[in-house]
Chain A
Amino acid sequence: MSKHHVTTTINGEPVEFLCETQETMLDVLRNTLNLTGSKEGCASGDCGACSVICDGKLVCSCLMLGVEAEGRSIVTVEGVAEGDTLHPVQRKFLEHAALQCGFCTPGLIVASKALLDENPNPTEEEARYWLAGNLCRCTGYDKIIAAVLDAAAEMRGERSAA
C-alpha cells in the first residue's frame, strides 16, 4: 500500500509529508515530523495533550488523520512562541507555577491560546469549561486558571508585561 503525499502548513512553514491512510495527525507530528511537543495521553480525544489549532479551530490531533492536513494551516505548541519570545500564556504558566510534571502543558498552552484568540476576556467559568477537555492530574487546575486569566488581562493591556 503506497503512502499519501500531503502538502500543508505547520507553524507558518510549508511542509510536505508521506503518511499511511490510518495514521493520525498526532503520529505524523511526533513520528514523521519530529514535533514531539504534542503528546499522546489517550489517543481517544479525552485528554487534550495533543491539542493543535487547525485553521483557527482547536482540535485533538489524535482525532485527525494525517491526510486531513492537506491544504490546511496547523499551529502546534512549537509554534506558539515567536522565536525566543514566549507567548503571554507561556510566560504566565511559568510565573504562576501552573505546571508540575509538564506533560499536559503543551496541550494546555495551545488550548489556552485558542481560548484567548477567540475570547480575549473569559470569565473563570468560561476558562474552566473551555479547558475541560485538557486533563491535568498534577495541579488541580487552580494555578492554570489563574495563569490563563492573568495572561488574558495582560493581553488586553490591563496589566503591564512582567
Chain B
Amino acid sequence: MNYIVSKPELKVVGTRPVRPDGVDKVTGRAQFGADMVLPGMLWGKVLRSPHAHARILGIDTSKAEKLPGVKAVVTAKDFPDIASEEAFVGEGPMNFRDLSRNCMARDKALYEGHAVAAVAAISQSVADAALALIDVTYEVLPHVIDVEEAMRPDAPILHEDLFTQGVEPKPTKPSNIAKRLHFKKGDVAAGFREAEVIVEGRYTTQPVHQAYIEPHAALCAVAADGQAQIYSSSQGQFMVRAYCAKLLGWDIANIRAVPLEIGGGFGGKTLVYLEPLALALSKKSGRPVKIVMTREEVFRASGPTSGAVVEVKIGARKDGTIVAAQQVLKYQAGAFPGSPVGPGCMCGFAMYDLPNVEVEGFDVVSNRPKVAAYRAPGAPISSWAVESALDELARKLEMDPIALREKNAVRDGSKTHYGPSFRDIGFLETIRAARAHPHYTAPLGKNQGRGVACGFWFNIGGESSAAVHINEDGTATVVSGNPDIGGSRASMAMMAAEVLGIPVEKVRPIVGDTASIGFTHLTGGSRVTFATGMAVTQAAEKVVEQLKARAAQIWEIPAEAVEWKDGAAYPAGSNAGGFEPLSLADIALKAARTGGPISSEVSLNAQGAGPGFGCHICDVEVDPETGAVKILRYTAVQDVGKAIHPAYVEGQIQGGAAQGIGWALNEEYIYDSQGRMENPGFLDYRVPVASDLPRIEAVLVEVPNPRHPFGARGVGEVPIVPPMAAVGNAIRAATGLRLRDLPMSPPKVRAALDAARK
C-alpha cells in the first residue's frame, strides 16, 4: 500500500534488482574489516583501564617489550600531544585533541575500557601475554556516571580545563557541563497562559549501543618512507584518513585508506579507535599490524549514544491547537564533550508548527565511553519525550492522536524554532497515510494496546565524488567514495543505468579508496543516495553528453542534432539525417578513433537534502504477570521522496524500527558502584532477536525532493525516531500506565503494574 508519485518513464529507478555485491555476501567471500591479511602481519592488542576515573602516574612497558615475539609497544608518548581544534570530519561534533585522547589516554583514564597502551606481536596469544606484563600505576579518582549527578557543582570533575560554554557570565570554575544550548521562538510564558490544557513530564533514556554485529577492525601497514596503507571497516575512508593524519601528524598524501566491507555502523563507525594505534605500531615495528576489538571492547570502549533526562511541557487550546512547548534536555556526552543534544533540541518540536517554543539543552561529560553518532543522533531521545507527551495531550483533549498531530503538523513554509523554514515536505501525506492504513483501525484484544508516534530527521547532503567510466564493450563502471553499508552500490548503479539507458546488470559499481576517487564525506546523515547519488547522476549525464558528441562526430552532424534514449544515440528529428541509431556499445567500440576513453568524474557539495518524516503504529500485548511486552504488529509509514531501490528502502525502515524497539524495551548499560559496565555482551545487553519481533510493514510515501535528480530524500535515520514513544503509547493504551523511563523492560513494567494495583 504505497503512495507513489513516480515518473512513469523510469526504467531502472524504482525496481528491485539483486544487489551487485550480493553474491559475495551470501557466500562468505566479501571481505570485512577483520578478514584482510598481509604478509608478515602482526597482531595488535589494546590494554584498557580497569578504572572509571584514574590518574595515570606511570606506565612501565619494559617487561612486555622484552617478551619474545613482541615487536612494538605504544602509549600516549608515541602520539603527538595535539592542541584543541574542532574537527568537521565525522558525523557529530568532535575535537581532534579529544579524539586523540580517546584513542589513547594521556594523563588520565576517563572511563573503564579507555585505552592506555597497545602492543604488536607475532601471535594473538603473545600479544595477550604482553598486555599482562605492562605495569600501569593508577591513582584512582572519584567517578561519576549519572548525568544529573555529573551536573552538580560538587561532582568529580573530568576535565580541569572544561568551562561551560553558552552561559553568562563566563564561568570561573571547571564543570562537567560542557555546553548550554538555548532555542527560543515567541513567548512561552504567554503561550502557557493562553493554554487550556497542559501536559508535562520528566522522561529518561539509557545509553544504547549501535550494536553493529561486526566489531571494529583495522589492518595498517607503514613503510619506512612513511607511506601508509589502512584497510579498515568504517563509515568513511576519507574520515579515517583525515583523523589518522591529524592524530599522528602525518601528511594526508602519505595515507591511503582502503574501505573494506562494513558490518554495520549506524553512526558508530564515524570516528576512529584502532587505526591510529595500528599505524603507530606498524611504524614502530616495520610490519603490518591488525587489531580487532572483542565484543566486550566494543561495549566498554566504543561510543553508544547518550542516556538523557528530558523534561517536557506542552500547552494547547481545547481544539487541539498547541500554543506553547518547552523542553529541557540533559544529554550524556561520555568522557569528552559532544553529545547530540544540539539535534535533540531541534528535532523534538520540529514536526509541529508552534508559535511559542523554548528549548534548553546541556552537554554533560561523565565517566563513560565517549558517545558516538547513532542513527538520527539525539532525535529519538527528544522525540521519546515529546511524542509521549502528545499522546497524553490527545487523551486529555479526547482527540485522536494522529488528528492532534495533523492539526499541528508543519507544512511547506512553516518556520522551525531553530531557524529554517520547511519546503517540499511530506509530513501531512505521511500521517494521513498512517491514519488511512487498515492497521490503525484493526481490532485489539485483552491486555493489548495501540500507540502512534512520529519522527523527523534533517538529512544532509555535502561533499561527494563519483566517476562513471564507459568500458570498451559498452558496459560501465561506477566508482564512488562511500562505504556501502546497506545496499548503496545497488542504488548508485541503478541511477547510472537509468541515465545511461542500459540495464543495471551492465553497470558495475565499486567503492573507491582515498587514492581512487575524489574526496567524499562519510556514509552518514542519510546522505549517500542523495548527495553521492547526485554525483553519480551528474557524472552519467556528462558521459551521455560525450556519447552524443561521439555519435555526432561519427555521423558528421552537430552534437545538438543527436538525442540519447534507451542507451543509444538517435538523430534528433528528420533534419538531422537518416542515420541508424548507435548503441552505447557501438560508440564505446569506436572510442579510440573518436577522441579516446569516455568517462567523467564529478565532485560536488550537494545542497537541499529533503527532510524526512515518519509515523509509526505499534500494537503491543502486556503480560500482566511478568510485565513482558510483546510487539504484535508494527507499521512504519515514511516519506522517502523517491525510493531508488524500494526493497532496501523498506529494509532501512524495518531495521530502524527494530532498533527503536530494542531501545524501547530492553537495551541499557548497567554499571556497578565502581563505574564498571556489568553487561558488555550480547547475552546481557539484549538487542532484538527474530522471535521478539513481528513482521514490520514499511509503507513508502513518495513526495519527491525536487533537489535530487530522481526525487530521493534520505531514509535511514527517520525510522529510529518514533518507536520508543510508539511502544510507550501502546503500553499506556494496554495498561493505563504512562511509563517515562527507558527501557520499558519486564521488571519496570511489572513494578508499574504492581504499584497501580495497590
Q: Which A positions have Cβ atoms within 8 angstroms of B?
A: 20, 22, 30, 34-44, 46-47, 49, 76-78, 80-81, 86, 90, 93-97, 99-106, 109, 125, 127-129, 131-145
Contacts and interface: CB of A to CB of B under 8 A. Distances in A.
A11 to B, nearest CB: 11
Given A39-B213, A42-B681, A100-B655, A86 B27 contact: yes
A96 B647 contact: yes
Contacts of B516: none
A148 B212 CA distance: 22
Contacts, number: 187
B453 interface: no
29 contacts: A36-B31, A36-B35, A39-B34, A40-B292, A41-B215, A42-B681, A44-B683, A46-B295, A46-B682, A77-B28, A90-B26, A94-B18, A94-B26, A97-B645, A99-B26, A101-B212, A101-B264, A102-B21, A103-B212, A103-B261, A127-B690, A128-B690, A132-B689, A135-B682, A135-B689, A136-B690, A139-B655, A140-B658, A141-B688
A117 B214 CA distance: 28
Contacts of B690: 127-129, 131-132, 134, 136, 141, 144-145
B399 interface: no
Interface stretch (B275-283, B588-596, B691-699): B691-699
Contact of A99 (B22, B214, B292, B689): B22
The SS class assigned to the A binding surface is: loop
A104 B213 contact: yes
Contact of B30 (A44, A95, A102, A143): A102
A99 B30 CA distance: 13
Given A47-B213, A140-B655, 18 more contacts: A39-B213, A44-B682, A47-B295, A76-B28, A77-B27, A78-B27, A86-B23, A103-B263, A103-B264, A105-B25, A132-B691, A132-B692, A137-B264, A137-B659, A139-B658, A140-B658, A140-B693, A140-B696
Interface residues of B, number: 61
B654 A143 contact: yes
Contacts of A80: 27
Nearest to A145: B690
A30 B34 CA distance: 9
B654 A101 contact: no
Contacts of B212: 101, 103, 137
B421 interface: no
Nearest to A42: B295
Q: Which of A77, A97, A135, A145 has the most CB of B within 10 A?
A: A97
Contact of B214 (A94, A103, A140, A145): A103
Nearest to B654: A140
A150 B487 CA distance: 21
A93 B26 contact: yes
Contacts of B648: 97, 100
A139 B654 contact: yes
A160 B553 CA distance: 49
Interface string B299-322: 000000000000000000000000
A35 B35 CA distance: 9
A95 B144 CA distance: 50
A137 B29 contact: no
Contact of B19 (A37, A97, A139, A145): A97
B19 A43 contact: no
A141 B688 CA distance: 9
A79 to B, nearest CB: 9
Interface string B218-261: 00000000000000000000000000000000000000000001
B487 A97 contact: yes
Contacts of A104: 213, 263
Interface string B272-299: 0000000000000000000010110000
B125 interface: yes
